[in-house]
Amino acid sequence: MFKDNNIKIVEVSAINEWWKGCVIYQIYCRSFYDSNNDGIGDLRGIINKLDYVKSIGVDAIWLTPFFESPMLDMGYDVKDHKAIDLLFGDMNDFDELIVKAHKLKIKVIIDLVLSHTSDQHEWFIESSSSKNNSKSDWYVWADAQEDGSAPNNWLSLFGGGAWQWSESRNQYYLHNFLTTQPDLNFHCPDVQIEQLDVIDFWSKRGVDGFRLDTVNFYFHDQLLRNNPLFANDSQPLTVPKINPYGMQDHLYDKSQPESLDFFEKIRNQLDKYEGLMTLGELGEDGIKSFKLMEQYTSSNKYLNMCYGFDLLGGQLSASKIKNYIETISVYSSGAWFCNSYSNHDVERHLSRWQYNESYKSQFTIMALNLLLCLKGSVCLYQGEEIGLLQSEISFEDLRDPYGIQFWPDFFGRDGCRTPMPWKNSHKYYGFSDFKPWLPVQADHGKLSVNLQKNNDNSTLSQYKYWINKRKLNPSLQRGDLTLKKSNNNLVVFERNLKDVSSLCIFNLSDSKNIYGQLNEYVYDELLGQEYTLQKDSLELGPYGFAILKSTIKD
């Protein structure tokens, strides 16, 4: 493995495009650290643990929603975009968090849910009260068909149809998620104005960027045309097969061309401030996701970067990564990606992927470095750095409405949202002194931060080491990527930026593989694991990798 007692954290350049090639650490606020012992993580808990986050070497944190909410979808059902829910603290806590993060040179990205609101939001209460009010067209309302059925065949991602009947208006309203999450009508200019004002409100409070939830759901087809079925049996990677949502080709309920005009307005709004960025979540995978990525991020007019779900689902293999790189080159060559393996919506990757358990440590670090070497920025999900696995949650403990709807064929998202383990000797592993909102997993105690932080060979120490090594290599942060030919188990590519290049070689199998095309490749640094260097070839052991850095010197 490795031993390095002199790890030095290097700061990312303080430039307007700080986000380009940065490493983001996603904090699921409810489960990070509970400072007031009510069983729910909070803003002050994050403040208390910022020094830990800093020690990992990341450049930014992404905070999941902390706005006032009835919490039916754990904060993604917003009641007031400009108020902090008492569960998480207050505005003074938020301001203090910003100050401390910036003192530590950590950027702060907040999660904005703009496509929909809670049905308890004052906007929806007024809009649903009648057909004639000042906000009557702020949400997507439509008349029933002649037989009283829903306006079309659109489906909710959380199960059932995407239309809910409102007696007060004698109409249906659209909800792409829960019935308690009505979709805003972005074809209404006043809605756009209000949401731009929300962005401005938080910009003035000192945030550095916005993760835009379901960014391709803002606009719908105004003709309300039916979605066609998929022409084949393939479903999106992150939609469980039990969910009929994955059977439709969602041509009309999302990803509409009008989105670009609104993104341009967002960009113009953020350009009033220095260094603010946008990270859009694309609710797509496959070719459509890559095409949208190009549209949304390839110019200086719209979003800065996006992420899809192609690496957040399925298995990790050499063929998958090669296809990912090749597809980007065809459909998204001008886009800027944010790559990640795990987040709060999908099964943790070390539980999702199949690999040889005898080489788990090698596999974990190989996969991390593959992520760090791909072109784009990087997002790590809390707990990933200590090797957390998916938790098993019983039905009576489930809080996720998605999981409750499709149980037992789909267990929902709670398994990746359980509390962070800080101390192995504590009843709730140091997360709280009170029973947490989700149960702690018994075997997570052995992965606690306190057991790993002083162990040079722990997963946590290795994450720190390799993240910092990437920061010392500008070609891995911003360089172009060229895929090289290799055998079926290897992924080989070169990253180039001005006078620095890196040849990156990864063995994604549990058997030895040789890359024999070095051809006296000139390099001044060689890093990796499980490799043997020969004259013009590298022998890589199970899940081995090597990064050969070359610098042109004057």
Q: How would residue 233 be classed by pLDDT, with cut points 50, 70 and 90?
A: low
Q: Is residue 499 part of a domain?
A: no
Residue 241 placed within a domain = yes
Residue listed under structure tokens 């938080």 = 202
Residue 389: give its domain's CATH number. 3.20.20.80
State yes or no: pLDDT of 125 exceeds 70: yes
- Is 213 considered catalytic here? yes
Backbone angles phi, psi at 545, to 5 degrees: -155, 160
Question: Whole-prediction pTM value?
Answer: 0.96
The average confidence (pLDDT) of the chain is: 95
Residue 109 has pLDDT above 70, yes or no: yes
Query: Over the stretch 497-514, which tens digit does the pLDDT of each residue have?
Result: 999 999 999 999 999 999
> Is residue 396 in a domain?
yes
Among the listed residues 34, 73, 213, 494, the single catalytic one is 213
Is omega for the bond preceding 408 within 30 degrees of 0, making it cis?
yes
Residue 60 has pLDDT above 70, yes or no: yes
Give me Rg for the CA atoms of the chain: 24
Assess if residue 176 is contained within a domain.
no
Active-site residue among 38, 137, 194, 294? 294
Residue 10, pLDDT > 80, answer no
> Does residue 343 form part of some domain?
yes
Specify the pLDDT at position 230. 83
Query: CB neighbours of 303 closer than 8 A, spacing ≥ 6?
Result: 212, 215, 263, 266, 267, 278, 279, 280, 296, 297
Per-residue pLDDT tens digits for 146-167:
999 999 999 999 999 999 999 9
Range of the domain at 39: 23-117+189-313+335-352+360-471
For residues 184-199, average pLDDT: 98
Asked whether residue 513 is assigned to any structural domain, the reply reads no
Number of domains in the chain: 1
Say yes or no to pLDDT of 207 above 50. yes
Counting residues of the chain whose pLDDT is more than 90, the rounded percentage is 92
Q: Report which residue type is found at 454.
A: N
The pLDDT-based confidence of 235 (bands split at 50, 70, 90) is low
Confidence band, pLDDT 50/70/90 cuts, at residue 239: confident
* Average pLDDT of the segment spanning 57-61: 98
What pLDDT does residue 519 have? 82
148 within domain boundaries: no
The secondary element (H helix, E strand) that includes residue 380 is strand 377-381
> How distant is the alpha carbon of residue 456 from its chain centre?
28
In a domain, 161, yes or no: no
CA atoms within 13 A on the CB side of 510: 11
Could you confirm whether 294 is annotated as catalytic? yes
d(CA 548, CA 543): 17
